[in-house]
Amino acid sequence: MNSVKTLLRNASVYTGANILNAGIPFLLLPVLTRVLSPTDYGTIAMFGIVVTIMGAFTGLSVHGAVGVRYFQLDRQRMPPYVGACLAILAISSSVVFCVVAVGRPWLESITHVPGNWLLVAVLVSSAQFVINIRLSLWQVQHMALHYGAFQISQSALNAGLSLFLILILGMAWEGRALGQAAAVIAFMLIALFLLLRREEASIPTDTSDVRDALKFGVPLIPHVIGGLSIATADRFMITNMLDVAQAGIYMVALQMGMVLGLLTDSFNSAYAPYLLGVLVKEDRARDRKIVRGTYAYFIVVTVFALLLGVTAPYLLGVLVGEQFRAAAGAVLYVAMGYAFGGMYYMVANYVFLMSKTGYLAVVTFASGVFNIIATYFLIKLNGVLGAAQAFMLSQAMIFLCTWWLAHYFRPMPWREALFPENT
């Protein structure tokens, strides 16, 4: 019972923090969509995408190993392990920076982001890696208040700087991008200071830690790329098949759906450590309860997505400028996509538990390829609405395939929980 109370308490903290965290940029929506043009808003969206894509290669996804190894290594082994992850970040980020510097003309043509800002994106993605390690350690240590306060403070600085640069100094999309970059880099320095001060990171002492982190992270790169293709191919294709302004309108629909995405992410932040902890011991009755709770969660996120889609025209009529209200039709599909993403979190934890990330990578990569194909044809057919439809279908595909993987590697009583009389 105490573990359930801890889960609910942490989940409420993560949810509250993420609501506030999401609320800050969401509150910017009425301002930015009235001050900036759809083209400016589309450029901001593309800069954010570039940061996300760079994040797949700066650090090679090894930060995820920190949260898993925390439960498997002695406490004295963790600081040098974290140090090994930071060393991997330094080397990989340097390589990515050089590659982007050489390929700037080509990257500018497909992203519509100026070359100097592409280099800034590399630095921002590297800084976010350090922040993710700090947050991951607080998460597995059940220090939800620290986690939430850090996130909210970073978003507040991000929003404050952005408003100052746009409204006071008169900058356009560059003001929003600079505000984001400055806030992330500042909090990266804070995260690094805290890691060193608390002796949670130290100089690597064993090359086996580097190998282990790479063994965990590198197989995830196709998984991350596949996930990124689902998350970003739509805006790339809208920008190049339609125009940057249409990407800005689509971004508004995504931000509406992200409300649900942030809620599901916050719940998983509390749920994943709980699940990893309790599944160490076999207990069939407990597993049935977990599965029933998971089914209830599936229903809740689906209903929330449907309500968000139905009310979108009314919400956008109040929240955004006239030029952006065409996004309303895409919100239902985007929200359902985020609902499937929330369901994916619930089943992907089993795959991570069994360290079968290579199989997960195959599923996500295949879903990413499907997403690119579906997005291309559906944009041709339905424009911006087609991009939202492809996003929903791709998220459904990755959820269902990951659910099958989860049951294969760590069987749970999915059928028995629904039909106990047949067991």
- Does 192 or 227 have the greater pLDDT score? 192
Contact between residue 188 and residue 130 where contact means Cβ atoms under 8 Å apart: yes
In a shared domain, residues 131 and 265:
no
pLDDT tens for residues 123-179?
999 999 999 899 888 888 878 888 888 988 888 898 899 999 999 988 888 999 999
In a domain, 288, yes or no: yes
- Domain of residue 315 covers 1-19+219-423
- Residue 1 pLDDT > 50, yes or no? no
In a shared domain, residues 283 and 417:
yes
In a shared domain, residues 201 and 254:
no
pLDDT tens for residues 267-315?
887 787 777 777 777 778 888 888 888 899 999 999 999 999 999 888 8
In a shared domain, residues 209 and 246:
no
240: its two tokens:
């190049």
In a domain, 25, yes or no: no
In a shared domain, residues 254 and 197:
no
Distance CA 338, CA 340 (A): 5
Give 160-163 contacts, CB < 8 A, sequence gap 24+.
162/28, 163/28, 163/31
Closest Cα partner for 357 from 230, 227, 208?
A: 227
Whether the predicted model's global pTM rises above the 0.75 cut: no
In a shared domain, residues 58 and 201:
yes
358: its two tokens:
């290579």
In a shared domain, residues 203 and 240:
no
Residue % of the chain over a pLDDT of 70: 91
> Rounded to the nearest 10 degrees, what angle do helices 173-197 and 115-140 cross at?
40
In a shared domain, residues 41 and 143:
yes
In a shared domain, residues 240 and 352:
yes
In a shared domain, residues 196 and 66:
yes
Contacts of 134 (CB under 8 A, 6+ apart): 150, 191, 192, 194, 195
- Please state the φ and ψ torsions of residue 354, each to the nearest 5 degrees: -90, 5
In a shared domain, residues 296 and 383:
yes
Distance CA 199, CA 320 (A): 46
In a shared domain, residues 85 and 204:
yes
Distance CA 282, CA 226 (A): 33
In a domain, 104, yes or no: yes
Q: What angle do CA 188, 18, 44 make, to 5 degrees?
A: 65
Contacts of 390 (CB under 8 A, 6+ apart): 234, 371, 374, 375, 378, 379
